[in-house]
Structure 1
């Protein structure tokens, strides 16, 4: 059985982040033998300062608040417990207005409250837990990246699927009409995301149909294809994100 009885994560975006983007949430977690029970209440803040047209112009809706209660897979209970066991907190820490706020409160042999010293680890795990909730509830689908490398000699194709619901990732490689499946290490996923989205992705000129011409193409699960070097470009002069992406992609296609 888990070493904690209940954990509450409270999160608020930085005071520097304006509406309609600013939000806060409270995530309550209770472990059991077979799963991790989760209760999420997320609300967007300071929207009373904006007109509805301004909110919708940024791609939001009149009400983007979200609540959910249900069970997450046991693997998430294990991950939370693992991080809790190496977490120490600072009580009454003064908030930094330029940083997001994250505080913990949990019950084990005693009640512990405060800001975790390993804050970055908790930022990341909290984001993973939110994504697991969105997938478990059906709000969002599992992450999928479709790669297509077309040359005059051959066509290489790989599909990476990462499920936050089950905390597993796999790669399906398709070549010559045959497919092979292998697991992808979950701990490498953050680096993949970092490399993948370091360049700029431009929707203008992207393909709505599966490409047939020579080139290296990416489709991030939305059915739209972006070509390397054309719709996936350097974010600025002197940047060198594309070679890193190419190197990473070659590993996924091999």
Structure 2
């Protein structure tokens, strides 16, 4: 059941990763309150089922022994409109979550009515929650804003592109050959989804900025990868590499 979007006072997003094995398996709950000039937010994130793993098995996957995370604080209200729009456009399932896990919601309105639902558009809610958690990490300085660097070097032209994605503000800052501007959030998020689809061969990556012709990307870790040589499509049915090249060209 939908509550009226303009009467919402609180949304809770609860996620379970389902059958994903440890150390990746986790659950989280986001509680988001409206009605102020910020979103009153709490996050409780816990990693699960690690009891039978050794410390080395956890470390080898890039985790630590304490990856759980809690937050209570204020998130800029630039997030309120897209959250309410997502709620208003969602349709609901009558089924319970299965072993695959997913998102379930609790909504409360000004009259005290409470609605517990499972959205059919699971992927949209999961992506939104991930972005919102990334905003929390930025605000608490757990993580810095993500910055991508991209070079297009061809016979008669060269472009040096930097993209800084500020989740806390839902803002993307673009620099092309030193000229700065702000670009569309949603279009940039689409480009980001392509950037992290291919396989990156770190045996071919360079720490120094490349000097020869081609397209090159640094995903924020200081390693330069050549598009088409060190960045390879995983799925033959979808050409993410071409989407990356096309997306960065459109930014020029």
Q: TM-score, normalised by structure 1?
A: 0.88
- Residue matched to 1:180: 179
Cα distance in 1 for partners of 2:166, 2:138 equals 8
How big is the alpha-carbon RMSD for the aligned residues of Structure 1 and Structure 2? Answer: 2.1
Select 2:89's aligned residue among 86, 90, 95: 86
Which 5+ residue runs of structure 1 have no aligned equivalent?
none
Deviation of 1:201 (Å): 0.9
Select 1:24's aligned residue among 11, 22, 27: 27
List 4+ stretches of structure 1 deviating above 4 A.
236-239
- Residue matched to 2:146: 143
Cα distance in 1 for partners of 2:36, 2:239 equals 47
User: Are residues 210 and 43 of structure 1, via their aligned partners in 2, closer, same or farther at CA, if it must alter by over 3 Å?
Assistant: same
- Residue matched to 2:247: 248
Aligned residue pairs total 246
Cα distance in 2 for partners of 1:238, 1:111 equals 44
- Residue matched to 2:73: 70
Cα distance in 1 for partners of 2:102, 2:61 equals 24
Cα distance in 2 for partners of 1:249, 1:193 equals 10
Secondary structure of the equivalent of 2:29? strand
Q: TM-score, normalised by structure 2?
A: 0.89
Listed one character per residue, the Cα deviations across residues 146-197 of structure 1 (whole Å, up to 9, x for unaligned) are 11122343321111121110001132110xxxx3223221111332123222
Which 5+ residue runs of structure 2 have no aligned equivalent?
none
Select 1:119's aligned residue among 117, 122, 129: 122
Cα distance in 1 for partners of 2:117, 2:180 equals 44
Cα distance in 2 for partners of 1:250, 1:189 equals 12
